[in-house]
Amino acid sequence: MIYLDNSATTPPYPEVVDSFSKVSTHYYGNPSSLHQFGMEAENLLTRAREQMAELLGVQSKEIIFTSGGTEGNNLAIKGVAFQYQTRGKHIVTTTIEHDAVHRPLQQLEQLGFDVTYVPVDQHGFVSTEDIESAIRPDTILVSVIHVNNEIGSVQPVIEIGKMLKKHPKVVFHVDHVQGVGKVPLNIREANIHLCTISGHKFHGLKGTGALYIKEGVVLSPLLSGGSQEFQLRSGTENVAGAVALAKALRLTMDHYQKNVHRISAMKEQLIKALEKHDGIVVNTPVEHSAPHIVNITVKGLKAEVFLHSLEKKGIFVSTTSACSSKKKQPSKTLLAMGRSEEEADQAIRISFSYLNIEEDVNYIIQSIFTSIEQLKEVMRDSR
């Protein structure tokens, strides 16, 4: 079995599972309780927050734990919108954001907010100049994804952040979910105010994540109750999840240099081979793209059919993003890049992790070519 759907979710590190199990079993106290068990849990939560902050280069009081990318994005976007709506109701984003950004923005539009969706070019990149041109006196938020989850294009968030220094009243949110451990990002240097990460994208556990909130930025909380997480996310904290998240991030950062070059080499080998096939279009840009994602269109074959053909050969890939695949809709990102609905409906995403090995790449290439021939032969025979 060759698992190539790591952009959807990654297998957790064994050490992460062990730490979650240990904390859940032995440190199960409520961190808000005043007795020994509660204090032990609180200490673990505090240490996990400090570790996260150290690894991300920020302050511990700027990290709040969430259930993952969707919650983090919703809290960032709606939190800014509701908190600063008296200042303005205009938001700027791109046409290639994850649904965890697009859907909250659509909800805000129904509540009277005005959202500008800045287009991308044919390679899937937004320009800093276009973002700046969209800013108005009533703009309160700019939200731009770091690494596109479908094709892997790396957006110029550093340049956008520097540009936004000229607009001090605009809050800058970055969805960093696909970038963690693959494309380094200095949150402070990029002038980012809000940054979302999700544990299960870097070999942590599902249901864990964090939102960086720059000191001085005020958000309106989505959940009200016991005032946990600096009064921004009420509810008894997932201590074991927070500890596991910090461990996953540390392991990912520790292994970054060793893994990123190997994964990049596999991606390069795969793209070079696939580009030679006249029935395949590589959608992932060669330059300024993440090391782990390869998106291709297989001409004349529906993505879902091709996916199952590879599955029979023990290779697991995905169509569009995992959150959208069951809707059977064509790739939103490819449509935004100017591709036809047919081309967008024929796209699959291959995404590597450190667990993939170089020896598998030739088998992956051969399986793709063989599947194309087999499926086209079936189509010819059925005519």
Q: What is the pLDDT of residue 236?
A: 84
* pLDDT higher than threshold 70 for residue 168: yes
What confidence tens digit (pLDDT) does each residue in 62-115 have?
A: 999 999 999 999 999 999 999 999 999 999 999 999 999 999 999 999 999 999
Rounded Cα distance, 240 and 74, in Å = 23
Rounded Cα distance, 336 and 341, in Å = 10
Q: What is the pLDDT of residue 230?
A: 82
Binning pLDDT at 50, 70 and 90, where does residue 234 land? confident
Average pLDDT, integer, range 284-301: 95
The answer to whether 209 touches 199, Cβ cutoff 8 Å, is yes
* pLDDT higher than threshold 90 for residue 320: no
Rounded Cα distance, 306 and 113, in Å = 41
Average pLDDT, integer, range 285-304: 95
Mean pLDDT score across all residues of the chain: 94
Give the position of tokens 């949110």.
173
User: Could you give the percent of the chain with pLDDT greater than 90?
Assistant: 87
CB atoms < 10 A from the CB of 224, how many?
10
User: Could you give the percent of the chain with pLDDT greater than 70?
Assistant: 97
Rounded Cα distance, 170 and 71, in Å = 21
Q: What is the pLDDT of residue 330?
A: 83
Rounded Cα distance, 191 and 205, in Å = 29
DSSP structure class, residue 5:
B
Q: Is pLDDT larger for residue 2 or for residue 228?
A: 2
Give residue 31's Cα distance to chain centre.
29
Burial class for 87, CB neighbours closer than 10 Å (0-12, 13-18, 19+):
middle
Binning pLDDT at 50, 70 and 90, where does residue 377 land? confident
Q: What is the pLDDT of residue 227?
A: 84
Taking the CA of residue 17 as centre, how many other CA atoms within 13 Å lie in the half-sphere pointing to its CB?
Answer: 6
Average pLDDT, integer, range 203-225: 95
Given 3-state DSSP classes, what are the helix, strand and coil percentages for the chain, each rounded to the nearest 5?
A: 45, 15, 40
Q: Which residues are catalytic?
A: 323
Binning pLDDT at 50, 70 and 90, where does residue 382 land? low
Give the position of tokens 């939560």.
45
Q: What are phi and psi of 364, to 5 degrees?
A: -60, -45
* pLDDT higher than threshold 80 for residue 139: yes
Rounded Cα distance, 213 and 122, in Å = 33
Give one DSSP letter per residue of 20-76, joined into a string. Answer: HHHHHHH--S-TT-SSHHHHHHHHHHHHHHHHHHHHHTS-GGGEEEESSHHHHHHHH
Burial class for 381, CB neighbours closer than 10 Å (0-12, 13-18, 19+):
exposed
Binning pLDDT at 50, 70 and 90, where does residue 326 land? low
Q: What is the pLDDT of residue 267?
A: 97
The amino acid sitting at 174 is V
Domains of the chain: 2-9+256-381 (3.90.1150.10), 14-253 (3.40.640.10)
Binning pLDDT at 50, 70 and 90, where does residue 272 land? very high
Q: What is the pLDDT of residue 33?
A: 82
